[in-house]
Amino acid sequence: MLAQPLTPVPGPLDDLPRFIGRGTPMRALVQAHPWDLTPLGAIADWPASLRTAVGLVMHSVHPMFLWWGEQLTQIYNDAYVPCFGVGKHPAALGQGGRECWPEIWSIIGPQIDEVRNGREARWYADNLVPIWRNGRIEDVYWSYTYTPVFDEQDTVAGVLVVCTETTAQVLAERRRHTLDLLGCRSEPAVQAAIAQSCIDNPADLLGISLFSGDEAPAVVSSGVLLIRGAELQLCARLALAFTASPRLPMDGAYRQFLEQYTAAVCGTVSRLQSDLALAAAMAESERLNVDLHLSARAKDEFLAMLGHELRNPLAPIVTALRLMKLRESDTSREQAVIQRQVDHLVRLVDDLLDVSRIASGKVELRKETVLLADVLNKAVEMASPLIEQKQHRLQADLPGVHWHGDPARLAQVVSNLLSNAARYTPAGGHIALATRVEGSNLQIQVTDNGSGIAPTLLPHIFDLFVQGNRQLDRAKGGLGIGLALVRNLVQMHGGVASAYSAGEGLGSTFTITLPGSVVTSAALPEAASHAAPSLAQGSGPRVLVVDDNQDAADSLGELLGALGYRTTVAYDPAHAIALAEEGMPDVAILDIGLPGMDGFALAEHLRLLPAGAGLRLVALSGYGQAHDKLRSRAAGFDAHLVKPINIAELQISLS
């Protein structure tokens, strides 16, 4: 605290003692004080030594304080008054030292005795002497001297105090040191530094809580100061709650320190987050580069496999067709070849479409409760051609429980696993299909004694386009999408797909776990029949087939005729409209991709014809995703069939 020069206040001349002086508030108080009621007695009776000491104190512009006599009666000057704050002045004038300073007597009492007994001055720098002021105990730091004052008998009659309050400087240095400790290199280190701050500097920081996001409370308790980073235009999502010291005034310097502390934490956290974000971005960039390279390579390999796989069934189809042209006899063998290869092509295309639909989230499960054995039997039937071709032994465990889910998709999953096992097991191998039911949980395992899986490949075995043991001759076949379909379809059922192999040449085990899918007998719904009714020859409804592919239109017309329907065929929209005008059919099966007028426009035109309002419309398309079916329904179609047509679905659509 800097002492200010005193400007005497003019007043009338009087007979007051000149050693005390006049013209300032404290000089006036000392002059007017009833000293005769104190141990010092009346001013006129003061000894010369006391008068000299008092004169020195009262005329000094530096904070000074005098204790005199055994009771340490107090006299102080104007410059010392601000040191009291509120609470002790002016009652401290003429008061005994112990009575005035009970809260610090344990500190200053021994210091005073040391000076009085040792007859030597003492110096104390930046010493903590917490005093009662402003209604509470405050931590106050002082630099001061205690100097003995001798009387006429050469004994120590008093102690002169010359002091400077250094609280501001001490707190500033202490707080600067605290702020220096916040330069951390990780977010956990920031938390540790905050905790250490409270340990190292409990005088300023009784407690600190760091909040992120919306965690910060809207209202804090008394004695807690919440400072948000947003208030400082820093770290909008961070806030610090400080439990402030009750022994320090919450003045501008204290609040500035807490704001600087908040800014330091925000700055450190922002820097760390920026560093982490940069490192993550660089790592992500590197990962994307690697993924891009792997994807490009997988794409090239996939396209090569796709060309190979699609050519494989086309070759016997073409050959069988040529044989059918050359032979005039029974062509049932060639037809069987074509059927097998067409089925293979359809399955390849279905797998490709499934991958695309699952990737875009457009596959919807059609769940129902069915016998699990029926689903697994269908899966075995689908995989049987390859299993029989390679002369594998298949052991199947088919439990007699009911299961809730999409039976077609589960059959596809198990069939893919069986086909995968057959493909990667040398001829004459052993394949096992096992199931385990625990409560409502179902586990299905497909185990083989085939070529196994390399440890480096095992973590990626369910990734798209991944295959083991790729060979130039493509003897094992496949597109590398079957296991990816397995994983995605199992996940859509809320399950998990996993693979295990002890290594190459040691076989493989694929496990799918479907929790909560087994249905108890009590929960089984009543059975419902969906079989299409059988029709007598030529007695069924009239059906108009419209398709610009003449072979497809004629073959579908012949098939419907064989099933008992009365069928007419048109290859273009104009012909279809003409046939409908001659006699409106009961059902119209319309190819959506017609030239000139698409199936949607043709459907609208047919409905506007006389008697067209009751026409049942069936869409026929190579596109079967959810939005395709929604568009057909919005256009007024009663059913949507996907090429190649499933006969059972066709009969249900016509019924």
Of the pLDDT bands very low, low, confident and very high (cuts 50, 70, 90), residue 471 is very low
Residue spans per domain, the chain:
18-166, 170-278, 316-358, 364-514, 540-654
Rounded Cα gap, residues 100 and 133, in angstroms: 12
Whole-number pLDDT of residue 470: 47
Tell me the one-letter amino acid at 526. E
CA-based nearest residue to 595, from 631, 547, 557? 547
Which one of 2.170.150.70, 3.40.47.10, 3.40.140.10, 3.30.450.40 gives the CATH number of domain 170-278?
Answer: 3.30.450.40
Q: What is the mean pLDDT of the chain?
A: 81
CB neighbour list of residue 543: distance below 8 Å, 6 or more residues apart: 560, 565, 566, 567, 568, 585, 586, 587, 588, 589, 654
Please count the CA atoms within 13 angstroms of the CA of 566 that sit on its side-chain side: 9
Q: List the CATH code of the domain at 18-166.
A: 3.30.450.20
CA-based nearest residue to 384, from 374, 394, 375? 394
The 10s digit of each residue's pLDDT in 385-407 is 888 888 999 888 878 889 999 88
Rounded Cα gap, residues 655 and 653, in angstroms: 6
Cβ distance 297 to 466 under 8 Å? no
| Mean pLDDT for the stretch of residues 281-300 | 73
Highest mean pLDDT among 67-71, 292-296, 410-414, 452-456: 67-71
- φ, ψ dihedrals at 591, nearest 5°: -70, 130
Does domain 540-654 fall into CATH 3.40.309.10?
no
Of the pLDDT bands very low, low, confident and very high (cuts 50, 70, 90), residue 164 is very high
CA-based nearest residue to 65, from 159, 138, 167? 159
The 10s digit of each residue's pLDDT in 248-268 is 888 888 888 888 787 777 777
Q: In what order do the strands lie in the sheet with 566-570?
A: 566-570, 542-546, 587-591, 616-621, 639-642
Please name every residue paired with 142 in a beta bridge, in sequence order, or none if there are none: 127, 165
- Look up residue 96 and give its DSSP letter: B
Q: Tokens in use for 347?
A: 């399955």
Which range, of 538-542, 597-601, 605-609, averages the lowest pLDDT? 538-542
Domains 18-166 and 170-278 in one fold: yes
pLDDT above 90 coverage of the chain, percent: 34
How many other CB atoms are there within 10 angstroms of residue 151's CB atom?
16
The 10s digit of each residue's pLDDT in 533-584 is 555 555 678 999 998 888 778 888 888 888 888 999 999 999 999 998 998 9
Q: List the CATH code of the domain at 364-514.
A: 3.30.565.10
Q: Tokens in use for 641?
A: 């069939």
The 10s digit of each residue's pLDDT in 17-28 is 889 998 999 999
Whole-number pLDDT of residue 546: 92
Rounded Cα gap, residues 120 and 280, in angstroms: 68
Tell the burial category of 15 from Cβ atoms under 10 Å away from its Cβ (0-12, 13-18, 19+). exposed
Rounded Cα gap, residues 116 and 72, in angstroms: 11
Q: How many residues does the chain have?
A: 655
Instruction: Name the region of 542 (left: φ>0; alpha: ψ -120 to 50; beta: rest).
Output: beta
